[in-house]
A and B are shown apart, each in its own frame.
Chain A
Amino acid sequence: MSQRIQKRFEKLKQEGRPGLVTFTTAGDPDQETAQKILNGLPAAGADIIEMGMPFSDPMADGPAIQLANLRALGSGITLSKTLDMVREFRKHDDETPIVLMGYYNPIHYYGNQRFLDDAITAGADGLIIVDLPPEEDDELCHPCLTSGLNWIRLTTPTSDEARLATVLKNSSGFVYHVSIAGITGTQSADSVDVESAIKRIRKQTDLPIAVGFGIKTPAQVRETGKIADAAVVGSALVNVIRQGVDKQLAKDQIVTNLHGLVSELAAGTR
């Protein structure tokens, strides 16, 4: 099993602080710029990198990430090029974990085992596949764990005790708690609800818990970091790219702006 995620959470524990998980989409706004964004994320303060594998029909995502998917696909990104980006990143960084997030169909088309082999070779550490619930674990979850990649599952406000047990059963790396019943980049959760959810999850697992959906500001990162092991920020970062594209900023300026926001958010973990 890939060890980077475990080691990173151990390091965070030693440092006595929560982690920052950043989400951006592979190929957004184009592969070259996305590579610069990716390569600079650790220096800007990202502890764990979540990278979206673009899909034409991202059903669990709100408008910001839907547009990111369309920009990326429009620029010609493919699943194979997404793995190239991971490979390129690993030439410079062998410690920061990369989790690939996406939907099942592009992987299904690529070939499940071929994808797992290529993802491991490229240097990925885990997968979050939104539309593969435990009911379909035979598809990709079991082969993924056997191949040595982490299978990171989402818990949600609709997960009761029994459901939590089902969801956590084949989870590894960390648990991603979706703090609202909804799509990405919309409303923010009530921290009391999140706290009680995390207590319930901790009763059933020793895995670190990251919390995401609706976290946009350094203050929210700080609040989340008090109760969880990491905070995930996605739509807010992706919006920086959209604004840059809309204003026709130079690509390097978009990279700088995005890393700037990551640094501000990272301050919330320190």
Chain B
Amino acid sequence: MSELTSSALPESYRSGPDDRGHFGIFGGRYVAETLMPLILEVEAAWNRYRSDPEFLAELEYYSRDYVGRPSPLYFAERLTEELGGAKVYFKRDELNHTGAHKINNTLGQILLAKRMGKKRIIAETGAGQHGVATATVCALFDLPCVVYMGETDIQRQAPNVFRMKLLGAEIVPVTSGTATLKDAMNDALRDWVSNVEDTFYIIGTAAGPHPYPEMVRDFQSIIGTEAKQQLTEKEGRLPDLIIACIGGGSNAIGLFHPFLDDESVQIIGVEAAGLGLDSGKHAASLSGGEPGVLHGNRTYLLQSDDGQILDAHSISAGLDYPGIGPEHSWLHNIGRVSYVSVTDEEALEAFKQCCRTEGIIPALEPAHALAHVAKIAPKMRKDQIIIMNLCGRGDKDVFTVAEALGEEI
């Protein structure tokens, strides 16, 4: 091995981040000084409880009896037949309580917040799935919940807005900047800086200042850990390919992380190409962005040639973010994970195909992963195995899909 490769490639892909939160050159802690003591406090609490048997037992209890874990690993037989190639399995995290993988993380973080004695929870949300998952655990643990949501997203995700209200959360419409997820995150950070004494910020994706990317990844890694065990039981071996959609990338890192050191497993992350990478209207930070610093971490960002953050676009509100979790940026740079992109149109086709062949209405986010599965499964051998993370159900998206298909409901 040359010196360059030996220094570039770690002994394990699962050893990051370092103690300052860096995955290679990505990650870190780029926040205002007012927040630093709080971030360090979260980190200390996380380090204390992450291996605490009582904490883990409580997390496991709620994951099982409240969320419904483990989620099934399902052989999508009709889809497999139609594609005519590799066997396609769905990791069905859309069957979790609240309909997506997001609750794996909100549950973990609120248990930490409780132990830290925090009295108030804030969160940002784009599609509303993380907002709903946060509002849900806040109701469960009787903590007041404030969710920041872009005015634009409030318009297009009305059902989730109402769900959050039913669960007792206060929704703060964000009109600053471009009124989408990145601005919601800005306003959540502004809230946190103004309420440093009692507030815990539950970040929804594997991004933000250290320790959030690591913490969210670890709470979501239950996905990959279960999938690995379930496939071993069903097929007696590892998959050939695992695949997931990526906005910030929490469901993907959750599936990927337990497999990173299994070198025979090919890993693909699917970004949202919106109207196409050349259109300038997409959310593919890795394919169409450059490294920069936003929301507490260094990562790939969509930005102008003056370093201003650009608006992302995707039909899926959950992928509509101009950045990506820092560990994905690192995995992209070292080449362990391949990142591809899928357009709105391709995702819609996959959405329909999933409804038609499997009787499952997927969220538009995993429909992106499915669209790529549809491209590559036919080229693979029939004895090969794909696991796709079906990370959310599509009830929330039926209005968007109807509009895109030109149908009135």
Contacts and interface: CB of A to CB of B under 8 A. Distances in A.
A109 B307 CA distance: 5
Nearest to A82: B306
B77 to A, nearest CB: 46
Nearest to B182: A57
B8 interface: no
A153 B30 CA distance: 14
A163 B41 CA distance: 12
A58 B190 CA distance: 10
Contacts of A78: 306
A160 B37 contact: yes
B386 to A, nearest CB: 37
Contacts of B309: 56-57, 105
A103 B307 CA distance: 10
A55 B293 CA distance: 12
B307 A158 contact: no
B31 interface: yes
A108 interface: yes
Contact of A178 (B29, B31, B33, B292): B33
Given A55-B308, A159-B37, A136 B29 contact: yes
B176 A158 contact: no
A107 B307 contact: yes
Contacts of B298: 108
B229 interface: no
B290 interface: yes
A222 B395 CA distance: 59
Given A109-B303, A186-B194, A73 B30 contact: no
Contact of A131 (B30, B176, B182): B30
B307 A183 contact: no
A131 to B, nearest CB: 4
Please indicate which of the listed interface residues B36, B195, B294, B307 has the most CB atoms of chain A within 10 Å of its own CB: B307
Size bracket, chain A contacts: 35 or more
Interface string A53-68: 0111111101100100
Nearest to A158: B37
B177 A167 contact: no
A131 B293 contact: yes
Contacts of A186: 194
Contacts of A158: 33-38, 196
A63 B309 CA distance: 18
A79 interface: yes
A133 B303 contact: no
Contacts of A73: 308
Interface string A72-102: 0100001110000000000000000000000
Contact of A133 (B31, B177, B294): B31
B378 to A, nearest CB: 41
Interface string B302-321: 01011111000000000000
A56 B308 contact: yes
A132 interface: yes
Interface in A100-151: 103-110, 130-136
Given A70-B177, A135-B20, A106 B306 contact: yes
A59 B186 contact: yes
Interface in B189-228: 189-190, 193-196
B28 interface: yes
A183 B294 contact: no
A177 to B, nearest CB: 11
Interface in B11-61: 20, 28-38
A172 interface: no
A181 interface: yes
Contact of B34 (A56, A63, A110, A156): A156
B73 interface: no
Contacts of A157: 34, 196
Nearest to B197: A181
Contacts of B364: none
B115 to A, nearest CB: 20
A55 B306 CA distance: 9
A155 interface: yes
Nearest to A178: B34
Contact of B303 (A63, A66, A105, A131): A105
B33 A167 contact: yes
B95 interface: no
A135 B31 CA distance: 10
Contact of B193 (A60, A109, A132): A60
B290 A181 contact: no
A204 B203 CA distance: 35
A107 to B, nearest CB: 7
A108 B32 contact: no
Given A57-B177, A153-B33, A106 B307 contact: yes
B32 A131 contact: yes
Interface of B: 20, 28-38, 176-177, 182-183, 186, 189-190, 193-196, 290-296, 298, 301, 303, 305-309
11 contacts: A54-B308, A62-B190, A66-B176, A70-B177, A79-B307, A105-B303, A109-B307, A136-B28, A136-B30, A154-B32, A155-B33
Interface of A: 54-60, 62-63, 66, 70, 73, 78-80, 103-110, 130-136, 153-160, 163, 167, 178, 181-183, 186
Closest A-B pairs by Cβ, 7 of them: A109-B307, A106-B307, A182-B194, A156-B34, A56-B308, A78-B306, A131-B30
